[in-house]
Homo-oligomer: A and B are copies of this chain.
Amino acid sequence: MKYIESKKNDEIKQLKKLSATKNIRKTGTYLIEGFHLVREADQYDQKFEKLFVTENYSDDRLVKKYYDIATTISEDVSEEISETKSPQGIFAVIKVQDVPDMPTLDGKWVILDDVQDPGNVGTIVRTADAAGYNGVITSLNSADTYQPKVQRSMQGSQFHLPIYRMDIQKALKLAKDSSLEIYGSEVNKSAKPYNELPKTENFALIMGNEAHGVSKDVLVNCDENIYIPILGKAESLNVAVAAGVLMYGLQSL
């Protein structure tokens, strides 16, 4: 098995470039790290292009399975690639999934209108998975879900439910054409409190940008604009928390 000791190695330099969206698009591959995530990618049949591990993984089942594309790396290299303080020493380069022709949407969806913080986007996908939603659509200006930080905070949910990326108006049209009820979320007391909505099995919940919320030209196209009552003196909620409250609040438990 190949061994890379120096963090100045060309292949390692290329790998680090996979934190940028343009390089993810160019190569059609993205980077994940950590044992849990790499194991989930394998379990959910993602296409592995490369596997990098420190020596303590040499007897691992995954290393045996991907032996032909595996490389051993030094701790030094592991720290260089990793975005965490205590890297687990296991990384994989995965092929970006082909986006199938867009289906008709069914069930419960979350649409992100320019949610820009990677942690927020990742956490919302993870929550959508937990809350039993059917999928997530991100607008073109939302944080790219193939970025390492988003990948890490999705904690495997990226392999459990479909995530599409498209122009926000196209996403709205798709939801409308699929006969979903469309709920825009607002920090606005003239919108409808989420807990007063009738239970619905087919809807799209739209969450907005951290600073500006859901954009006006999206809100006008929603069937209902909803809000979470603020009962104390806070001005708003973190968008990932708000998404969680709404996703579970609108779920028929």
| Residues on A facing B (Cβ under 8 Å) | 119, 123, 126-133, 153, 155-157, 160-161, 193, 195, 228-238, 240-245, 248-249, 251, 253
Known: A129-B233, A130-B231, A133-B232. A123 touches B156 (CB 8 A): no
Known: A238-B240, A245-B248. A160 touches B127 (CB 8 A): no
Query: Nearest chain-B residue to A253 (Cβ)?
Result: B195
Q: Which has the most chain B C-beta neighbours within 10 Å: A127, A160, A232, A236?
A: A232
In Å, the complex CA distance between A245 and B251 comes to 12
Cβ distance A166 to chain B, nearest Cβ, rounded Å: 22
Known: A244-B241, A248-B228. A234 touches B123 (CB 8 A): no
Copies in the complex: 2
* Pair A232/B155 contact, Cβ less than 8 Å: no
* Pair B126/A234 contact, Cβ less than 8 Å: yes
Cβ distance A195 to chain B, nearest Cβ, rounded Å: 5
* Pair A231/B132 contact, Cβ less than 8 Å: yes
Query: Nearest chain-B residue to A247 (Cβ)?
Result: B245
Cβ distance A98 to chain B, nearest Cβ, rounded Å: 22
Q: Which residues from B are CB-within-8-Å of A245?
A: 244-245, 248
Q: Which residues from B are CB-within-8-Å of A119?
A: 119
- Across the A-B interface, give the 5 residue pairs with the lowest CB-CB distance, nearest first: A132-B231, A241-B244, A130-B234, A160-B233, A129-B234
* Pair B126/A253 contact, Cβ less than 8 Å: no
Q: Which residues from B are CB-within-8-Å of A161?
A: 232-233
In Å, the complex CA distance between A231 and B229 comes to 25
* Pair B231/A251 contact, Cβ less than 8 Å: yes
Query: Nearest chain-B residue to A251 (Cβ)?
Result: B231
Q: A123-B241, A249-B249 are in contact. List 17 more A-B contacts (CB 8 A).
A: A119-B119, A126-B237, A127-B237, A129-B234, A130-B232, A130-B234, A130-B236, A131-B231, A132-B231, A132-B232, A133-B232, A157-B234, A160-B234, A161-B233, A193-B253, A238-B244, A240-B240
In Å, the complex CA distance between A89 and B195 comes to 41
13 contacts between A and B (CB under 8 A): A126-B238, A127-B234, A129-B234, A130-B232, A131-B232, A132-B231, A132-B232, A133-B232, A155-B234, A228-B248, A231-B251, A237-B244, A238-B244
Cβ distance A189 to chain B, nearest Cβ, rounded Å: 13
